[in-house]
Structure 1
Amino acid sequence: MTTRHILLIGFMGTGKSTVGEQLARNLNYAFVDLDAEIVKQVGRTIPDIFAQDGEVFFREQESRILARLLRDRTRLLVIATGGGVVLDEANRKLMREHGAVIQLTAAEETIVQRVSQDRNRPLLQGDAASRVRKLMLERQGLYDFAHLIVPTDHLTVEQINERIEAHLVNEKAY
């Protein structure tokens, strides 16, 4: 089993938080939802942060908090990242160096179905389907540094975690 942090990356709506909570319980790791940690430390909701300070400020906080979490050697963490954490090359490098990186994927239609009613997603204001499509195109290839890719469309949380845990048991390349 890994002795490193586990990072769940992927586009919004792929199940990172849901999978991460259960994975952390299974492995007896601490769970951190990066977006929730940003809200806690900044003291405002993500829509408020975007509205008042903009996406650049949000991404700066995201990078700062991610770096702090990855350098934590007092506990093992499962970290569910936000979908845009991969926009910063330094974040991608840091995650790859300090953890086992697992990408969760889903088809565009699945993502639209999962996130279209979520009002806490400032990047989806307006037509959610067209925004998802545009963002997926913009982020194409940015998740490719993951050690493992798990499609989540037709799997239960338990099945996803079984795949991740099997990979971690067999990992030799980290």
Structure 2
Amino acid sequence: MLNGGNVVLIGPMGTGKSTVGKALAEKLGWTFVDTDAVIEEKAGTTIGAIFAEQGEPAFRKMESETIASVLQGETRIVSTGGGAVLAEQNRKAMKTSGFVIALRATEETIIMRVGNDENRPLLQGNAAERVRRILEERKHAYDFADFTIDTTDKPVEVIVDLIVSRLPRGEA
């Protein structure tokens, strides 16, 4: 079995973690879990509202609790928020409970995908500038992944097939 029997998708916002995660879960017959969606459901509000009303530290605490809880299951495809990797406890939980795959894309692709998304609290203001800054600040944050896929010009089906081909034998 995989470490803990899960696949964990990490990477900056706009790299396709949710889209790829849903397609991968469908292909493998596993459960898809988006940690941001779990947080919103538990909190009864949006991530943007959590940031605005309680601040980023409160959100990051909820995020760590959610990741720890979700990764206790097995045969799950877990899509994490882009900043989830900033906490060491989250990185450890991911590595011990799953096969970690980093998704990346070019700066231009990410800006195109998320630049107009008003529900992303870290993009308030000049989205292109914020994306550039976040990518620079986190450029090595995803290096602990078992492998990395650039999603820039790849169809979802191709990305899913690449992931399946890289999973340890007997897992898919």
The alpha-carbon deviation at position 33 of structure 1 amounts to 0.7
1:97-152 CA distances to partner (integer Å, 9 max, x unpaired)? Answer: 11000000001111001001111100000001110011111112110000010100
1:79, 1:34 → 2: CA distance?
7
The alpha-carbon deviation at position 171 of structure 1 amounts to 8.3
1:84-95 pair list within 5 angstroms: 84-95=83-94
1:169, 1:135 → 2: CA distance?
31
1:127-166 pair list within 5 angstroms: 127-166=126-165
1:135, 1:16 → 2: CA distance?
17
Change (3 A) 1:134 1:51: same
2:110 is matched with which residue? 111
2:63, 2:120 → 1: CA distance?
15
Aligned letter for 2:95?
A: R
1:135, 1:160 → 2: CA distance?
24
Residue segments in structure 2 that go unaligned for 5+ positions in a row: none
1:45 is matched with which residue? 46
1:9 is matched with which residue? 10
SS of 2:55's equivalent in the other structure is helix
Aligned letter for 1:134?
A: R
Corresponding residue pairs, total: 170
Change (3 A) 1:171 1:134: farther
The runs of 4+ residues in structure 1 deviating greater than 6 Å are none
Aligned letter for 2:22?
A: E
1:36-87 CA distances to partner (integer Å, 9 max, x unpaired)? Answer: 0000011111111010000000000000010011112xx4210110000011
What is the TM-score of this pair, normalised by structure 1?
A: 0.94
SS of 1:31's equivalent in the other structure is strand
What is the TM-score of this pair, normalised by structure 2?
A: 0.95
Cα RMSD of the aligned pairs, angstroms, is 1.5
Report percent identity of matched pairs. 49
Whether 1:36 and 2:76 are equivalent positions in the alignment is no
1:160, 1:170 → 2: CA distance?
18
Residue segments in structure 1 that go unaligned for 5+ positions in a row: none
SS of 2:118's equivalent in the other structure is coil
Change (3 A) 1:104 1:141: same
